[in-house]
Amino acid sequence: LSPTVSSMDKEDRSYEKEVRGLLSPGGRYVATNGGVRDWMATLFRRVSGLNLQRRNFDLVITRHERKDLEKLSGLVDAGKLRPVLAAVLRLDQAGLAEGFSMQRSRRAAGKIVFALTEA
């Protein structure tokens, strides 16, 4: 679960407090996004090795490498990997409004894609 939706609307909320109660003893809360403090503490740990992050919390930072994307693309082309799409929407005002509405609902099953051409 991500603590925020990328729209950064005030109605977005963090689920961390709710989820932490479900963790097994010694379990870790791993976020794919966070607040400024989370990012600063994570980057500081990478540079210095000193962990200033709260207990049992990790923020995922990925390295984007062309070879990895090419491998994934090959798997998709071969039919061995099928991305799950909730919707393919036009990249216009109506499409963006619908996409953010789906994202805020937290009920979208799959990725919401905005097409640069006709959807």
pLDDT tens readout for residues 2-52: 333 444 556 656 778 888 888 888 898 888 888 889 999 999 998 999 999
Residue 115 pLDDT exceeds 80: yes
DSSP letter assigned to residue 49 = -
- CB-based burial label for 65 (10 Å; 0-12, 13-18, 19+): exposed
Q: Using CA atoms, how far apart are residues 107 and 71, in angstroms rounded to an integer?
A: 29
pTM here is 0.51
